Amino acid sequence: MCGIVGYIGVKDSLNVLIDGLKRLEYRGYDSSGVSLLCKETGNIKTIKKAGKIKDLEDEFKKNKPCKSHAGIAHTRWATHGEPNDVNAHPHGDCFNKISIVHNGIIENYRSLKNYLAGKGHKFVSETDTEVLAHLIEHFYRKDLIDAVKKALLRVEGTYGIVVISSDHPDMLVAARKGSPLVIGRSDNEMFIASDASAIIAHTNQVLYMQDEDVAVLTKNDIELSKVESAKSIDPEFVEIEMTLSQIEKGGYDHFMLKEIFEQPESLRDTEVGRLDKENGTARLNGIKDYFKKLLDADRIVITACGTSWHASLIGKSLIETYTGIPVEVDYASEFRYRNPIITERTVVIVVSQSGETADTLAALREAKSKGASVLGICNVVGSSIARETDAGIYTHAGPEIGVASTKAFTAQVMAFALLAIGLGRKKLLSFEQGLSLINELEKIPGKVNEILHDKNKIESICRKTYKKKNFLYLGRGFNFPVALEGALKLKEISYIHAEGYPAAEMKHGPIALIDENMPALVIALKDSIYEKIISNIKEIKARKGYVIAIANKGDKEIKDIADDVIYIPETKEEFSPILSIIPLQLIAYKIAVMRGLDVDMPRNLAKSVTVE
């Protein structure tokens, strides 16, 4: 969740570190800080500040930074201790000879803190990270690498850390367990960060650290080993495809808006090379060796969090419709705590945009420990989920910077559609049916583009509703999860209370909330349950409710019932969520902007939830 940047080389380290932090702002944070290894004095200079990175820059203007070619930096999202200057990272030891930045949670920090306090260590913050800095100090005998390893053997929990010491001005020491770190190299300099976006301006040659890795970085070299072993590991760098332009706004006011408008392209990238018209099926080379296991499975379990969970609900309906294989969808955060019934004939699919979601990773490992085959759907090549699953499908949606996920959702639904068609062609679907589905999927990006360039009605609806305090989102069938996702988007960035429900459930409680002050946004497409949703709308109108309908173009009946209608193109019922979500994303975005809120950095949220 937090952001880490480290640098050692020949450049002014402060500029590199601050630039890296700014590129990690999208992950969400409440404070930031920098520690520099000062060239003239050999000391460590640390400045940290609650608030935005601009506030940190202002502090550096007041306290002139030293000349430095090595340092570490951090953006913090508070877990242990409130957001303030003292709890901000980096954290140091008693003598300011060691400084550390840390992502993750040290679960046994209280017992360690009590032990170290008994040894005379003085603590100034409420954080678990400061305990780790003092634990390294406790073991330090002029060998920083040895001290870091000994300290890590005593901690329980997760970590991605970078450590500097004034006794070792020419090295950074990094380690990872459960919290991502990526190392970048260039001529006479090395970089490390929690996300490749922080260093892509400097290099595209990266190494993804594995769990239990310890890396020692100098400006010209890297030494890699394990926490419990001194044996050297050959570092394997790869070239990443991410470009600087992909992580910049490109003329849009916000990353979220840019990513909403990138969806025609991201959907094409998800399906490119996978639409096999000759055989009327989907070609998924990444999981082709696991098709038999999927087809022979007693059931498929999909597990995910947040937006990915909503996409997974649609995936369940798609797979069951085309294959007849039973599918369950589980919150990853609950999966391992309920003793899930998993056998060797269960296939588990884990879904995550970042591939680093802590709860989803824990579910993955629980499923593997019980003997299940585990497949992944994720966006980030080289991520933990991509590495630890048996096989998987990359969505190829490109970097998603906005905290409120948009293009990841539609790309995940597209991936599920491809998977369901590929499986279905071997179960229930004829060639003609498969070809018809493939042909329609090919048209989806163009239909999304059509919706994006027909925004006038959305603007007027938002003008009417942006001051409302509550919203109700209703959908049925394939579009019930879209109601959940639309409500989530509004909550995330506008801070308006919103609830998503299956429309038929309205009369089992939520109808009590209906009045003229509660907008009801209803997905009412011309599908197999159209007449049912029309009845639900009439129930709302009978109670003086204000109805906004998402309807298909050409639907003349709906405009006589709903107060406002947003029209979208027709498609097959199963694929309609990819279209119906687009107006809901735009509504959430525009309402948040009208309310004067920071769309890309909503309060209390982080892009990738890498702690439990």
Question: Residue type at 321?
Answer: T
Taking Cα atoms as reference points, which of 307, 358, 397 lies closest to residue 610? 358
CA–CA separation, 387 and 87 (whole Å): 33
Task: Name the burial class of residue 207, with classes exposed (0-12), middle (13-18) and buried (19+) by CB atoms within 10 angstroms of its CB.
Answer: buried
Told to judge if 2 belongs to the known catalytic residues of this protein, a careful annotator would answer yes
122 annotated active-site: no
CA distances 432 to 9, 421, 424, 460, 528, Å, are: 60, 12, 12, 43, 21
- DSSP string over 372-415: -EEEEEES-TT-HHHHHSSEEEE-------SSS--HHHHHHHHH
Only one residue has tokens 């020949």, namely: 10
Q: What is the DSSP letter of 430?
A: -
Active-site residue (options: 2, 38, 378, 462): 2
For residues 556 and 562, the answer to whether their CB atoms sit within 8 Å is no
The active-site residue out of 45, 48, 293, 607 is 607
- Contact residues for 292 (Cβ-Cβ < 8 A; gap 6+): none
Residues 458 and 586: beta-carbon distance below 8 Å: yes
Give the chain's length: 612
The DSSP H or E segment spanning 239 is strand 238-239
Q: At 221, which amino acid appears? A: D
Asked if residue 471 lies in contact with residue 496, where contact means CB atoms within 8 angstroms, the answer is yes
The residue to which tokens 């199963």 are assigned: 574
Q: What is the rounded distance in angstroms from the CA atom of residue 405 to the CA atom of residue 263?
A: 12
Rounded Cα gap, residues 236 and 224, in angstroms: 10
The whole-angstrom separation of Cα 412 and Cα 414 is 5
User: Cα dihedral sign for 89, 180, 488, 504?
Assistant: negative
The residues annotated with a catalytic role in the active site are 2, 607
